[in-house]
């Protein structure tokens, strides 16, 4: 079976000596290896400020806390995402307001979002789902017009581009995940890119109980409770090695994605995604629309190719019952969208095989 996701781990000869060294170094908690990983990642993404965390969820939560999102506030988000995008909003006590998605892309629809803005709206969370990039031209305009900051959930979007630059620089906050199945895994981990340098120290305190790492433990003074969200040296070491492989891995995703875009656009019964202007997807998953979706899934599985929706629409959860509203764009998107494999593990023979199978019909 060609899987939809697969953890990429750098070659043993490169990875194992680095892990062994750090494990027996006597310093395995947050330390130099973490700061080095942060520097490497800043360079990779070309962003000035960034902190590493122990998960993408932690990065999202810290971003919301830095904006002071709390009970009584509203945050506009999307139901088409992995749950942590929204459980972190729930943790702040704020109300989630669903924006609808574009029927063609499944990405948050700026027109719907603008309609849902109220005096209580504290933030807009956009998700670059499956590596496809949201309509940032429009979202930037909305953010400026209303003075509402944007948090980009880029858990699927390492290497995705907006205006030919890697995602991470555009908004107040951009959150990355290095969980097992993402483009780059550190086993678990995440990062938060922060546009305003003045917020970096508070971000660091929020990831470490509220304590200031720059001040001796005995002279510290906590004035706001933080969390245990720090990355450790072992994870960071894995990340530093993984990062040296990412150009290669991301190129594989991109190359396969473009191949599928090209071939699928000529096949009946499927429709490719119209990506937004000024954006380049990183193809974490390949997304397309198909007729007779359940028949398509069965046919693909019978031929050894995973085809799946991957995530449950988040408005189906009881936790978010209060936010329930009509989302006709999402209803329509769900009827036809599906993901198929296109990651680094999909070889040239695999992708030709995938196209042959789809061309054969269902």
Ligand X SMILES: *Cc1c(COP(=O)(O)O)cnc(C)c1O
Site of interaction with ligand X (CB under 6 A): 55-57, 81-82, 84-85, 127, 153, 155-156, 177, 179, 190
Residue at shortest CB range from ligand X: 56
Cβ proximity to ligand X: between 78 and 323 the closer is 78
For ligand X, give the closer residue by CB, 55 or 323. Answer: 55
| Other CB atoms within 10 A of residue 174 CB | 28
**Interatomic CA distance for residues 323 and 352, integer angstroms:** 43
| Alpha carbon 23 to its chain's center | 29
CA 7 to mean position of chain CA atoms: 15
- Per the residue annotation, which of 122, 166, 182, 263 is the catalytic one? 182
- The minimum distance between CB 81 and ligand X, in angstroms, equals 5
Residue with smaller CB distance to ligand X, 230 or 299: 230
Report the DSSP pairing between strands 74-77 and 95-98: parallel
Closer Cβ to ligand X, 57 or 280, answer by number: 57
Cβ of residue 228: shortest distance to ligand X, in angstroms? Answer: 14
Of 154 and 307, CB closest to ligand X: 154
Q: Is 272 left (phi over 0), alpha (psi -120 to 50) or beta?
A: beta
Is residue 278 within 8 A of residue 163, CB to CB? The reply is yes
Q: Least CB distance from residue 49 to ligand X, whole Å?
A: 20
Q: Are 131 and 156 in contact (CB under 8 A)?
A: yes
Q: Is 12 a catalytic residue?
A: no
Q: Which is nearer to ligand X, 55 or 240 (CB)?
A: 55
Distance CA(4)–CA(340), nearest Å, equals: 6
Q: Kindly state the smallest distance separating residue 175's Cβ from ligand X, in Å.
A: 7
Q: What is the DSSP letter of 111?
A: H
Look at phi and psi of residue 93 and say left if phi exceeds 0, alpha if psi is from -120 to 50, else beta: left
Beta bridge partners of 74: 95, 121
Which of 168, 165, 164 lies closest to 151 in space, CA to CA? 168
Which pair of tokens denotes residue 287?
Answer: 């997304």
Question: Known catalytic residues?
Answer: 182
């Amino acid at each position: 079976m060609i899987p939809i996701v697969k953890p990429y781990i750098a070659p043993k000869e490169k990875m194992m000596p680095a892990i062994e060294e750090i494990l027996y170094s006597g310093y395995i908690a947050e330390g130099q290896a973490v700061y080095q990983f942060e520097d490497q990642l800043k360079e990779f993404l070309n962003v000035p400020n960034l902190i590493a965390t122990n998960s993408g969820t932690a990065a999202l939560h810290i971003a919301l806390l830095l904006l002071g999102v709390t009970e009584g506030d509203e945050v506009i988000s999307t139901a088409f995402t992995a749950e942590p995008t929204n459980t972190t909003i729930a943790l702040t006590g704020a109300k989630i307001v669903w924006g609808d998605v574009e029927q063609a892309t499944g990405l948050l629809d700026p027109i719907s979002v603008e309609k849902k803005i109220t005096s209580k709206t504290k933030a807009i969370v956009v998700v670059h789902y499956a590596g496809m990039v949201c309509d940032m031209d429009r979202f930037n305009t909305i953010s400026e017009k209303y003075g509402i900051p944007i948090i980009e959930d880029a858990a699927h979007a390492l290497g995705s581009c907006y205006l030919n630059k890697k995602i991470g620089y555009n908004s107040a906050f951009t959150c990355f995940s290095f969980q097992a199945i993402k483009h780059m895994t550190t086993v678990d981990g995440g990062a938060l890119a922060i546009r305003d340098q003045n917020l970096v120290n508070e971000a660091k305190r929020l990831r470490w109980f509220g304590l200031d790492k720059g001040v001796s433990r005995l002279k510290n003074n906590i004035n706001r409770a933080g969390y245990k969200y720090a990355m450790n040296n072992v994870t960071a070491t894995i990340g530093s090695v993984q990062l040296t492989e990412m150009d290669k891995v991301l190129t594989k995703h991109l190359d396969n994605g473009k191949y599928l875009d090209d071939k699928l656009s000529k096949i009946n019964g499927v429709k490719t995604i119209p990506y937004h202007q000024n954006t380049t997807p990183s193809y974490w998953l390949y997304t397309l629309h198909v007729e007779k979706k359940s028949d398509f899934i069965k046919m693909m599985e019978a031929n050894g190719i995973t085809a799946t929706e991957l995530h449950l629409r988040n408005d189906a959860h009881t936790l978010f019952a209060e936010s329930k509203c009509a989302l006709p764009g999402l209803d329509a998107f769900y009827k036809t969208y599906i993901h198929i494999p296109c990651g680094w593990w999909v070889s040239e023979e695999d992708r030709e095989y995938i196209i042959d199978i789809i061309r054969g019909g269902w």
